[in-house]
Amino acid sequence: METMVEILVATYNGDRYLAEQLDSLLAQTERGIRILIRDDGSTDGTARILEAYEQKYPQKIRVIRDAIRCGGPTPNFMELVKHAEGEYIMFCDQDDVWKKEKVGETLRVMRERERQKGRDFPLLVFSDYIVADASLNPVPVREKQLQVYGYRTDFRHLLVQNYVTGCTVMMNRAAYRLMGAYDSRIRMHDWWAAQYVSALGEVVHLPEKLMYYRQHGDNVVSAVNVRSFSYRIEKLLDRSTRSNLNLNFAEARLLYERFGSIMPEDPKRALEEFLQIPGYSKLRRMAALLRGHFLKGDPVRILGQLFYI
């Protein structure tokens, strides 16, 4: 049977939770899956766990072994994409747990959109998650407090804020084949994918909570309460907002370099508008952000954008 979905797992020193995550992938109700794993030089027991699972499930699990050291999850995932062969891929962190219907439900939505748009149309589908503690007990955080609350899937908003959590993502082959090689201007693999897919195809939000997003203190990226007073003040006063904006422009330039020649007219015009902003005066930069709807999702963060632009 041809592999329908490849689940890409990027690991690094993840022996504490890795087996539980792999068990949840093997328990998926969708059977046409393969698990593709790449470890980035772990020094704990991760390699032993991977070897044991690969030997036990040789038809389901393949571990990529090479001498490359990526040094972070984004280049690790992008290295994994080079080895992908399935009709669809999903990104998977080493420390979460997926509900058994996660692959099947996401695939159902993906197929519905492909029937409407065609299989050659780049599509990215992402779902919701349950915030959980280290023991997988749900954390009582209201949805409006989460960083990803109030999803935006249009290109203009995705240029300045990521609304797509990588471990909830499925992409079809038309989308993931465009990901390309890692570049230091790419901040996160999920954000990069959401940007170019929203420009060239479509990003679709699936509201079902299909996984437990484990928060344990060692996460590279974790759920954040963006509505707390302390977070709002921190973001308003955070001088790194200026450097983050510069990183947004740098990544946007890479988008233009790689995809400008094949972008439809509307996203290309939006990207060109965005790239002109750094050359304006302060007041024109502020006006351009507002006029172009290049805005973050939280009012306080928008104020920070306008202040530091």
Q: What is the pLDDT of residue 50?
A: 98
Q: Alpha-carbon distance 46 to 193, whole Å? A: 27
pLDDT-derived band at 300, boundaries 50, 70, 90: confident
Q: What is the pLDDT of residue 216?
A: 74
Q: List, in order, residues 6 or more apart from 119 with CB less than 8 Å away.
A: 172, 173, 174
Binned at pLDDT 50, 70 and 90, residue 225 comes out as low
- Summarize pLDDT for 168-186 with one digit per residue, the tens: 999 999 999 999 999 999 9
Q: What was the pLDDT predicted at 147?
A: 53
Q: What is the mean pLDDT of residues 92-110?
A: 98
Which residues neighbour 159 within 8 Å (Cβ) at sequence distance 6 or greater? 195, 248, 252, 270, 271, 274, 294
* Greater model confidence, 181 or 224: 181
* CB contact set of 239 (below 8 Å; sequence gap of 6+): 308
Q: Calculate mean pLDDT across residues 65-86.
A: 96
Q: What pLDDT, on a 0 to 100 scale, did the predictor assign at position 167?
A: 97
Question: How confident is the model over 249-276, as a mean pLDDT?
Answer: 98
**Selected residue with higher pLDDT from 141 and 194:** 194
Query: What is the chain's Cα-based Rg?
Result: 19
Q: Residue 2 pLDDT more than 70? A: no
Determine the straight-line distance between the first and last CA of the chain, rounded to whole angstroms. 53
How many Å apart are CA 210 and CA 17, to the nearest integer?
Answer: 18
- Any idea how long the chain is? 309
Sheet of 61-64: strands edge to edge? 61-64, 33-39, 5-11, 88-92, 169-172, 123-132, 202-214, 97-98
Give 42-74 pLDDT, tens digit per residue: 999 999 999 999 999 999 999 999 999 999 999
Calculate the average pLDDT of the chain: 91
Q: What's the average model confidence in pLDDT over 105-133?
A: 97
Distance CA 258, CA 24 (A): 36
The pTM of this model reads 0.91
pLDDT in the model for residue 29: 97
Count of other CB atoms within 10 angstroms of residue 244? 15
CA distance 50 to 67: 17
